[in-house]
Homo-oligomer: A and B are copies of this chain.
Amino acid sequence: MSKTTIKDVAGLAGVSPSSVSRSLRGMGGVSAGTTERIRAAADQLGYTVSPAAYRLATGRTGTIAVVMPYLTRWFFAELLGGAEAVIRQAGLDLLLYHIGDLEMRKRYFSSGILRKRVDGVLIATLALTEPEVSALRSLDVPVCMVGTLVEGFSSVCIDDVASARTAVQHLINLGHERIALIAGDPREPMHFTVPPQRHAGYLAALGAAGLPTGPELEAQGAFTVEGGEEATVQLLGRAELPTAIFAECDEMAFGALRVLDRVGLRVPDDVSVVGFDDHPMASYFGLTTVAQDVAEQGRVIADHLVRRAQANGTKPARLGASTRLVIRATTAAPRNKAHNAHNAHKSRTLRATGTAGAALSAARLRRPALANGHDPLERPPGPRPDGHERLATIKKKKGETQQ
């Protein structure tokens, strides 16, 4: 019966409801014998305290809100998984909120829907605007962030700048000098903080090494495989090809790998690629990348949040999370620097398959021809009408026609 109340238990045990309450939550003031009778009565009746009544009486909701801009992307799913385990372990409820677009986001924070509803809020990688921050402050519950620093809120962050710098430094150490960046699109509506930071790390490494930087070496796209493809296509349309590419996230790196593969550029022979995140597919592709344990971050921050939510008065803290460079198979020393220096800019029609060398045929082997026509090399990226022309011919390093 789902209707058993504390009174039923009290009646069965022959005590008052207050004793049942005290006993069941171990507050003392109840003799061992009584406690035993109460416990017996309680689980004979299958009694469960009513969360609503409990919350009303105590004022604590026993609930944590987790708000995420994406549910399906690897990073967020992983984070959610880590947080969920800890939150539930602590006996709290996890209220999930997905903030899909800017309008939802606006409504969400201004509606005050969280008010009186949660004991704590966990927000993933959203760079909050001032009104959003103050809306959260007015909730008067601890707020924890992932990947973003806000005064008064706790957070867990990896060092994106340093980590990106490490990744690029790896390329530099290998001897690369023209290192391109595949970056997140700054027009991204959700204002993530990650892309600019990884961008900064990229620039820092190159700057410190005295290597060239500039728009010629940078291309942008969404933080997805498709975004990575588009950005790489842009790169391939530039006057001079890089010998290495740093992608701000693994998904973009996958996109890069695909495009490079299709045009017959070999990885890492012709171009090295390094990603960021260590997405589960990264090992599949043998992608060199910067690994971060996202689930662990979720656990750490959720644990902190739970603590703050329960023991009120704890101060907000800034937690760190480590990263490490994982070197796999997509990075290597550039083939031949001297040769590379005065490479003949021999242009060649990309889609003239008849002239394809073994490398191109290898690409073809991997991915023969897409039946759904979804091919970035054939379909110029929407916003850039000149993409197609620029791609008709590309500069490619000469030589190494086959082993």
Contact = CB atoms under 8 A, between A and B. Distances in A.
A227 B370 CA distance: 26
A300 interface: no
Q: How many of these chains are in the complex?
A: 2
Given A48-B116, A51-B117, A72 B74 contact: yes
A77 B88 contact: no
B51 A329 contact: no
A81 B72 contact: yes
A283 B319 CA distance: 38
A241 B369 CA distance: 25
A365 B370 contact: no
Interface residues of A, number: 71
Interface stretch (A31-39, A52-60, A143-151): A52-60
A88 B95 contact: no
B98 A95 contact: no
Given A84-B71, A365-B362, A2 B139 contact: yes
A112 B46 contact: yes
Contacts of A285: 367
Contacts of A140: 2
B116 A51 contact: yes
A326 B372 CA distance: 8
A156 interface: no
A254 interface: yes
Contacts of A98: 81, 84-85, 88
A94 interface: yes
Interface stretch (A160-168, A171-179, A261-269, A339-347): A261-269
Interface in A5-49: 46, 48-49
Interface string A340-369: 000000000000000000110110111111
Interface string A107-151: 000001101110000000000000000000011100000000000
Given A361-B362, A361-B403, A112 B368 contact: no
A388 B374 CA distance: 40
Contacts of A328: 370-372
Given A2-B139, A284-B225, A370 B329 contact: yes
A185 interface: no
Q: Which 7 A-B pairs have the closest CB atoms?
A: A52-B55, A362-B362, A52-B56, A329-B368, A71-B81, A72-B77, A328-B371
A71 B77 contact: yes
Interface string A374-400: 100000000000000000000000000
A314 interface: no
A209 interface: no
A198 interface: no
28 contacts: A2-B138, A2-B139, A2-B140, A48-B112, A50-B116, A51-B55, A52-B52, A52-B53, A52-B55, A53-B56, A56-B56, A71-B80, A84-B97, A85-B98, A88-B97, A93-B117, A254-B284, A261-B366, A268-B368, A288-B371, A328-B370, A329-B370, A329-B371, A358-B361, A358-B403, A362-B362, A362-B366, A364-B403
Nearest to A266: B365
Interface string A265-284: 01111000000000011011
